[in-house]
Structure formats: C-alpha cells, structure tokens
C-alpha cells in the first residue's frame, strides 16, 4: 500500500490513520504545483484529479477522496475500532461527521489559502467558518471526541483541518474545547510519527 501525500495537506489524515491502524505502507511526496512525485512520476497519471490524497491499495488500483479513504483504512483493521461497524447507526453518525468536516471545515479553510482572494472575500469565509466551529465547540464541550463512542477517524480529519488555522493566522482561542481537543490528539504516537515523517516537527 502506498500513500501519495503533500506535507501538511489533507493527505496527512490518512497518513495518521494508516499508522493508527498499524498497517505497513510506503509514502511518496507530491509537488502539487508541478503535479509530479518525488521520484519524477506524472502525478496526474496516478490520480487524474491532480490532488492528494491518493492511496494505491494494490498494483494499478488507486483510491481517492479523503472520507472514503479514512473509512476504508479503518475497515481493514476493525479490531482498532477506528470506525463503527458498517450499517450501524453509529457508522452513519461517523459519516455525518466526515461529510460535515469535508464540506464545512475543510472547504471552509480552503479559500483562505488563495493569494488572489481579497481580504474582504476571505473575511466572508472566516465568518462562515466561525459558525461551523461554534457547532464543533458545542459538541466537544460535552465529550473528548466527536463520536460518543470515543476516538475515530473523524477526530483525525478534524485535527488535520483545524491545524491549518495556525498557517492562516486564524485564532482558535475563542473555541477552547477545540484547542483542548487538538492538544489531546497531538499527543497520540501515530500523530507524532506522521508529523515527523512529513518533516513538520
């Protein structure tokens, strides 16, 4: 199994989850501007969409889309309990969180990375994102993890996306439960190992 990633991008989430699952894998860095891998491959031939993550699960078989990858990896090692069993009510609750993070948090941060977007335009997205983080704050004020049943792949996805706040000078201190959540997740050995492997420690 091989993960194509870019340091600090959303591909960090499956990177961490692969380590949480104890799965043997290799990883290769992608230059997202040049669309080439560190070994000189044309990344668009690996993932025609041109973005990370991409996970080669077997020779010539590549999976993409983060929410799908996280569930796929979790299901490979069900004993690790990184996701509730398929078809359970809890699994649909997990999927709700994954979709919410993808569409409201992940895509909420994305426009702020665009150098061509004006500060006024970014302010609109900052305000929308703040309402979404208000909701996450209310949930994490009640428990340590997003799911009542405990730690899951959704927590890793939230950890990675909220980690972009520091790069964007977006102050998370108004959401203390999110800050405390991030501190808890950051201490996990798999998180530490992934950050080190990506050169982010």
Q: Contact 163/185 with Cβ under 8 angstroms?
A: no
- Distance from chain centroid for Cα 45: 23
Bridge partners of 56?
A: 2, 62
d(CA 161, CA 103): 11
Mean pLDDT by 10 residues, the chain (201 residues): 97 98 97 97 97 96 97 98 96 98 97 92 94 98 97 98 96 98 98 96 77
pLDDT, residue 171, reads 96
Long-range contacts of 121-127 (CB under 8 A, 24+ apart): 126/170
- How does DSSP assign 140-154, residue by residue? HTTSSSSSTT---HH
pLDDT, residue 183, reads 98
d(CA 133, CA 139): 10
pLDDT, residue 195, reads 97
Q: Contact 138/102 with Cβ under 8 angstroms?
A: no
Q: Contact 9/52 with Cβ under 8 angstroms?
A: yes
pLDDT, residue 89, reads 97
d(CA 171, CA 153): 24
- Distance from chain centroid for Cα 172: 17
Structural domains of the chain, with CATH = 2-79+190-197 (3.40.30.10), 83-188 (1.20.1050.10)
Per-residue DSSP letter, 85: P
pLDDT, residue 34, reads 97
Its sign, for the CA torsion 61, 67, 68, 71, is: positive
Closest by CA to 81, choosing from 18, 139, 21, is: 21
pLDDT, residue 118, reads 93
**Phi, psi of 138, rounded to the nearest 5 degrees:** -65, -35
d(CA 125, CA 170): 11
The helix/strand/coil state of 193 is: helix
pLDDT, residue 144, reads 97
Per-residue DSSP letter, 73: H
Q: Contact 188/6 with Cβ under 8 angstroms?
A: no
């Amino acid at each position: 199994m091989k993960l194509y990633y870019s340091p600090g991008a959303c591909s960090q989430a499956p990177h961490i989850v692969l380590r949480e699952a104890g799965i043997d894998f290799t990883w290769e860095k992608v230059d997202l501007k040049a669309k080439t891998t560190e070994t000189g491959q044309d990344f668009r031939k690996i993932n025609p969409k041109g973005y990370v993550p991409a996970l080669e699960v077997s020779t010539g078989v590549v999976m993409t889309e983060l929410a799908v990858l996280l569930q796929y990896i979790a299901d490979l090692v069900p004993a690790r309990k990184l996701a509730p069993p398929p078809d359970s009510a809890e699994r649909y609750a997990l999927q709700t969180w994954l979709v919410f993070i993808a569409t409201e948090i992940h895509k909420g941060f994305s426009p702020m990375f665009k150098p061509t977007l004006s500060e006024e335009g970014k302010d609109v997205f900052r305000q929308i994102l703040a309402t979404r983080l208000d909701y996450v704050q209310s949930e994490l004020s009640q428990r340590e993890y997003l799911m009542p049943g405990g730690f899951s792949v959704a927590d890793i996805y939230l950890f990675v996306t909220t980690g972009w706040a520091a790069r964007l000078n977006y102050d998370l201190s108004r959401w203390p439960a999110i800050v405390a959540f991030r501190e808890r997740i950051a201490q996990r050995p798999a998180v530490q190992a992934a950050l080190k492997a990506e050169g982010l420690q």
